[in-house]
Amino acid sequence: MPHDQAALLTSDAEAHLVGIARRVLPGGTFGSMASDLVIREGKAGHVWDVSGNRYVDFLLGSGPMIVGHAHPEVVAAVTAQVARGSTFFTNNAAGIELAERIVEAVPCAEKVRFCSTGSEATFFAMRVARAFKKRDKILKFEGGYHGNNDYAHMSTVPNRFVNFPNATMDTAGIPKVLENEILVAPFNDPAAAVAIIEEHRHDLAGVICEPMQRLIPPRAGFLKAVRDVTAKHEIPLIFDEIVTGFRLAYGGAQDYYGVVPDIAAFGKIVGGGYPLGAIAGRADIMAHFDKSSAGDAYAAQTGTLNGNPVAAVAGLATLEILRRKGSYEHLFAIGHQLRMALSGALEKSGVPATVVGEPPLFDVIFAKGDMIDYRASARGDAGLLKRFNAGLLARGILKADNKIYVSIAHTEADVAEAERAFEDVAKSLG
């Protein structure tokens, strides 16, 4: 049901499921969103919970569902493949075709290796860079999120600020020694980044970067400065395109921003909503994944579901839809309208806030100022953001904790519904 009220129905069935979740799951969740929401189904730009409440969905499964939920072409492709088998642990036609499609689309891609998640993709991107350079250290940017592997979970959400280039662990359970293998630089500060890379050029195996860091777009010249210094010293530059790949453009952020890395990690969209990740890059670097030729420099990378055919056909169908004329134009137009609606509602409310991001992916940070890096964005009022998200959810708008994802399935009617909710909730915060 649509939402004209700021209260949702909760059925006995949903309450029962929430009770089971709290009993059998740590924190009552799958480890993602801290919410008692239990989704039953999704269609196009909407989802329904088990109590029958409909939501305009700007969460989109944390981004993969850029063509909307249960797109008929994706469903048809997956249904046909499942009837032929779910996994084989050998090459399969769909996986080979998807690798070819990635090579055709992505500027840096000469070879592709599949995995199952974005966290694996960034992990193996760093591993292959270390194998290529025969060095250990990786530089990342403070606030950059590169998944849940031990090397990535450094200085993403630091609880204390330390001097660059020192790293701090984001979670318990990581060996303390790994802090010494990660160097950290400030995002959007080309002078600082170049200086750190120059100083540590003999130790660095690679530099990993979200080209659009969470919500923060790169300033003009920043990515080029990082590209130039890494190229000068022949240090592989890795773009984490788990979020931006096939979202900002068909060729990813490297196409959108015009800076080409040596390696890129993909996930989310590339699997069409199914578990699939990919590492793509220069042939000479990717050759270290080839056991038959790499010798002692072989970077081991195997997985039961690598190139899974069900995920591959979903990815192929999704990319086919995206590359059609008008897909990105619609995505950006809808995203722009939503951004303007959100900015306008917040401005009217008088609440200090800044809308940050690009049209297909953005959100509000409840602070004023130029949001150029993690330390600037960390000034945001987390309490206000939590109230804002809860207010939207009560009015039938579902979003991530700190992101609004847009799909090509969203409509003008969805924008209008969101605009009303933005205005109502912003007013309540003032």
| Averaged pLDDT, 184-199 | 98
* pLDDT tens, residue by residue, 68-80: 999 999 999 999 9
pLDDT over 90 percentage in the chain: 94
* pLDDT tens, residue by residue, 288-325: 999 999 999 999 999 999 999 999 999 999 999 999 99
Would residue 268 show up in a list of annotated catalytic residues for this protein?
yes
Domain 25-58+325-403+414-429 belongs in CATH node 3.40.50.300: no
CATH architecture group of domain 72-322: 3-Layer(aba) Sandwich (3.40)
pLDDT exceeds cutoff 80 at 3: no
Would residue 405 show up in a list of annotated catalytic residues for this protein?
no
> How far is it, in rounded angstroms, from Cα 312 to Cα 57?
24
- 137, 140, 268, 399: the active-site residue: 268
- 240, 363, 373, 414: the active-site residue: 240
* pLDDT tens, residue by residue, 23-46: 999 999 998 887 789 999 999 999
> For residue 7, what pLDDT is reported?
58
pLDDT exceeds cutoff 50 at 58: yes
pLDDT exceeds cutoff 60 at 5: no
pLDDT exceeds cutoff 60 at 2: no
* Helices 309-322 and 327-349, axial angle in degrees (round to 10): 80
Asked whether the beta carbons of 172 and 159 are under 8 A apart, the reply is: no
CA distances from 413 to 41, 333, 337, 359, 362 (A): 20, 14, 12, 17, 19
> How far is it, in rounded angstroms, from Cα 12 to Cα 384?
31
> For residue 32, what pLDDT is reported?
84
> For residue 178, what pLDDT is reported?
94
> How far is it, in rounded angstroms, from Cα 196 to Cα 226?
11
Would residue 328 show up in a list of annotated catalytic residues for this protein?
no
Provide the residue ranges of all domains of the chain, joining segments of one domain with +: 25-58+325-403+414-429, 72-322
- 145, 256, 257, 274: the active-site residue: 145
pLDDT exceeds cutoff 90 at 211: yes
* pLDDT tens, residue by residue, 234-264: 999 999 999 999 999 999 999 999 999 999 9
- pLDDT-based confidence at 10, cuts 50/70/90? confident
> How far is it, in rounded angstroms, from Cα 114 to Cα 317?
17
> For residue 336, what pLDDT is reported?
98
